[in-house]
Each structure stands twice: as C-alpha cells, then as structure tokens.
Structure 1
Amino acid sequence: MLQRLKLTVAYDGAAFAGWQSQAHRNTVQDTLEHAFQKISGTRIRVHGAGRTDAGVHALAQCAHVDLPDRRLSPERWTNALNSTLPPAIRILRCQFTPQNFHARFSATGKLYRYRIWAAPILPPLEFGRAWHISSPLDVDLLKTAGKKFVGTHDFAAFAANRGKKEQDTMRTIWSVQIRRSGPRIAIEIAGDGFLYKMVRLMVGAMTQVALNKMNVDEIVGWLKSGHADGSRFVAPAKGLYLVKIWY
C-alpha cells in the first residue's frame, strides 16, 4: 500500500523557471522528482499546493508524494532529500499523512508576502529578493489601496490568462497588512485562494496608487465590474514569497 508523505519546502525562486514541471526547463517540481528518483530508484510524482511563477520564492510551500513503502522515516527522508537537492531548495519537514490529504485540494488558505525596497539605492544582497522602487512611495495611500481588496470580490480584473478562462474568479481576501521599516516595505496578503498572478496584480495596483499614477477608486471599480479599464501593472516576481498554507 502506498504511503503519503507531506513535504514543507523552501526555495529561492531566482534559480528556477517556476514550480510546475516543464519540458527542458529547470523547475522546482522536476528537481524534487529527480531527487526522489535518485533516492528511491523509482519515479515518484510530486504534487504541489500551488504553482509559483519563475522568480517567486517560497518560505513554506507544501507538497505530497505517494511512496511505495515505508523503509525511511520522515526524518530520514528530510535528510536524504536535502543531501541530494541543490542548496536553493530545502526540505523543512516531512511527515506521513492520511491518504485523503492533498497538498492542493486540502488547502483552506494561503499567506503571501511581497517585499519592496523603497530607496534610491538597492543593496546588492537585496537583488533578486525585493522590488526596488526608487521613487517616493506614499505608504498611507498603499494601505488605503490594500484595504479595498479585503472581503469577497470578483478578482477577474486581477488575474492573468493561463490560456483558458477561469471558471470561478470569486475569492475572499482575509487581510492585507503593510509594514515599513526604513526602506523595507512588506505587504502580507492572506486569503482563501488566489488566481494566476493575482497577488502581483494586486500589489501592482496598490503601488500605482502609492506613486500617484492611479486613483484608488479604480481598484474599487475593477472589483465591482470584474474588468480592468486601462492597462494593468504586474509587480515583478522577485519580490513575492509564499509564506504559509493553511489546512
């Protein structure tokens, strides 16, 4: 009987072409599956909780696999995988779960963090870790814009097209919290689910408001109509982190 193993995974997204397996591309899913095959001698499919884009980081992505046996304990799987994987991916924890657990479909919510460095000069160690905005950013306007997203709305105007239209674009945002410490700005967005590039489009709109390039009422209008009137701005992938998944 197959044994289901849950993984908590952290990775530096700059090194990968996203999470999802792609032909002839370096992805997190493919790298994990190669590690499992090297250890077990058999191909094992890795199922992730979500598909992060190229350049997006994860502090606690979740995934699961079905193992053919229980020869290794969860602790030994953690050690074996980390000794096989590149340094840009770390397994934080492994644990056996019931067969009805699914990394994607059992999730009840997610928390994302978006990091901005708001100052004329970006320190080298922040390169690839935050979005550098050198122009003055009005944090009060940023917070005002963020509050407009809280609640249940049609987020069709804040979703990118993956090649087919989303059947359901209603989502509930539980909270949008913004903290500033010197040039560091962290935007944390929690909700029951997110559409393709939804967080980056939300942050893009919020920053446009904070830069006085967009009126906050436009966000309200887009949420009511489900349609964006005018061009949308997608925040760069490098500032986005998947922080937590609730089950």
Structure 2
Amino acid sequence: MPRYALRIEYDGAPFAGWQRQVDHPSVQGAVEAALARIEPGSHTIAAAGRTDAGVHAIAQVAHCDLTREWGTFRLSEALNYHLKPLPVAITACVRVAEDWHARFSANERRYLFRVMSRRAPVTLDRGRVWHVRPKLDIEAMRAGAQHLIGMHDFTTFRSTICQAASPIKTLDAIEISEHESAMGPEIHFRLRARSFLHNQVRSIVGTLERVGAGSWHPDEVRAALNARDRAACGPVCPPHGLYLAGVSYPQDPFAAQD
C-alpha cells in the first residue's frame, strides 16, 4: 500500500485535540473522514505528536496508507476540498517509503507559545495567544529557562495523567524573544526537543511567566525542577497560545516542495 506523508495546519479551537474520540470532534477524525471520502472504507493515520484540546498546529506531520497511487498534488487538493469548512488544511503531501513513520522516524519536535502582553483585552487574536497584563521581564525568564536545558527528570513539569514511561527528557533549547505586532507586544517561547511529556511545554511557559511577572526568582525554577514534584510547578498556561510549529526528520520528506 502506498504511504503518504501529510503536513497539516489547524486551528485547535473546535477540536478536543488531535486524537480520534468517539463523542468529540478531533483533528485526526476530520482527516480520516476526508480520506474516507476519496477512498471509501476505514482509515487510521499516525501523527508525529498528539496535541491537546485547543492547541494549534503550524506543521503537524502525519502519514496515511492508501490502496492506490495518488498524485501528491491531487491528493492534497482532494483532502482540502473534503475538509472544508473545518479549520484544517493539508499544506504539503509527499510519497514516502512504506517503513517511514510520522512519529517514530522523527528526531525533533518544535513548539511555539505566543503571549500577548497588554492591558486591553485581545480581540483579533483571541483564542490564538495567551493574554497577560503585566509586562514580563525577558531576561529574568531567560535566566530561569537555562535551568531546564539539557537532560533532566521533568516530573514537576508533566501532567499527572502523562503516559510516558519515563519523566526523563532532554530539552535542547528554549528561545524567548520579543516581537512588536500591530495589536501589541508579543513574547514568543520556542522549545525544541526530540519528544515532550504531556503538558510539559504549557507547564514550563506557565512557570516562566511567573518569573517574568516577578513572582518567582529565576533560581526557583531550578528548585522546582529538582523537587520532582508536580505540586512545585507554576500555573499551567492555557492551550490556545500553543502551536506545534514543526517536526524534523533525518531526511526532510517535504524538502522538495518547500
């Protein structure tokens, strides 16, 4: 059966997350339903990561197996037609080897978290950024973030329902930058790792926001990490500022299309 890799963009607001669910809409379910429209029957797709309810994606990656050969342009166009009017789009489609896997072949995930810092309520970007009122201290947050880089036991920063076999992960980078937009100042948190624990990014950003707001000293982030206790974590920030921004592979399957 020919296998195809799909790069997928979506607004997570209408969905209960990526993973297919019986009684709630999901991104996986939407794409599988679109596949059933072009090749009748049941379809199961695998993704690089399972985003939670309300989390968005700029470049989620999934793969599907079909019964016949498709031109990649025609396949992406057909899927996008059947995905309307849902806020889900196939932005790239390529044929891959039958043993290529969206999840297990990946060697890095990248997440973006957007924070808008202004007094006025957010209107145009509502549901796409986390709105905080106090001006955040970028340098203090960067200092706190340094305690989290590298291999650590991230028990403090993972959900109590996380199903990962181990809390030990290697966080390759946390980049924190300021950006001026027409709507106001934004702070972007960019995190890179081979894989993440459930709620790890939101737990880290929520904790660093406390540092930026002056409620925590940067060294308290190290103390929270070393506690290996979920109760030591700062607030978990809301999902709507979070984006799965990209997935890397030893050989980029989409390189020829970009």
Tell me the TM-score normalized by structure 2.
Answer: 0.90
Shift of 1:228: 4.1
Q: How does 1:126-137 map to 2 (within 5 A)?
A: 126-137=125-136
Deviations 1:109-150 (A, max 9, x none): 111000000010134111001000012321221211122211
Secondary structure of the residue that 1:60 maps to in structure 2? strand
Residues 54-63 or 212-221, more deviating: 212-221
2:194 to 192, 196, 208: 192
Structure 2: how far apart are the matches of 1:192 and 1:223?
A: 19
CA contact (8 A) 2:28 2:45 kept: yes
Secondary structure of the residue that 1:126 maps to in structure 2? coil
Q: How does 1:1-247 map to 2 (within 5 A)?
A: 2-70=1-69, 72-87=70-85, 88-162=87-161, 164=163, 166-182=164-180, 183-230=185-232, 232-247=234-249
Which blocks of at least 5 consecutive residues in structure 2 are unaligned?
250-258
Code of the residue aligned with 1:157 in structure 2: it is: T
Secondary structure of the residue that 1:14 maps to in structure 2? coil
Which blocks of at least 5 consecutive residues in structure 1 are unaligned?
none
Runs of 4+ in 1 over 6 A off after TM superposition: none
Shift of 1:180: 0.6
Code of the residue aligned with 1:173 in structure 2: it is: L
Shift of 1:174: 1.3
Secondary structure of the residue that 2:206 maps to in structure 1? helix
Secondary structure of the residue that 1:41 maps to in structure 2? coil
Deviations 1:206-246 (A, max 9, x none): 00111122232222123234224545310110000111101
Secondary structure of the residue that 2:31 maps to in structure 1? helix
Code of the residue aligned with 2:140 in structure 1: it is: L
Shift of 1:18: 0.6
Code of the residue aligned with 2:92 in structure 1: it is: R
Structure 2: how far apart are the matches of 1:86 and 1:76?
A: 16
Code of the residue aligned with 1:131 in structure 2: it is: W
What is the identity percentage for the equivalent residue pairs of Structure 1 and Structure 2? 34
Count the aligned residue pairs. 244
Structure 2: how far apart are the matches of 1:12 and 1:228?
A: 29
Structure 1: how far apart are the matches of 2:232 and 2:144?
A: 17
CA contact (8 A) 2:145 2:221 kept: no
Tell me the TM-score normalized by structure 1.
Answer: 0.94
Secondary structure of the residue that 2:73 maps to in structure 1? helix
Secondary structure of the residue that 1:125 maps to in structure 2? coil
For the aligned residues, what is the CA RMSD?
1.4
Secondary structure of the residue that 1:34 maps to in structure 2? helix
Structure 1: how far apart are the matches of 2:242 and 2:145?
A: 16
Structure 1: how far apart are the matches of 2:190 and 2:82?
A: 32
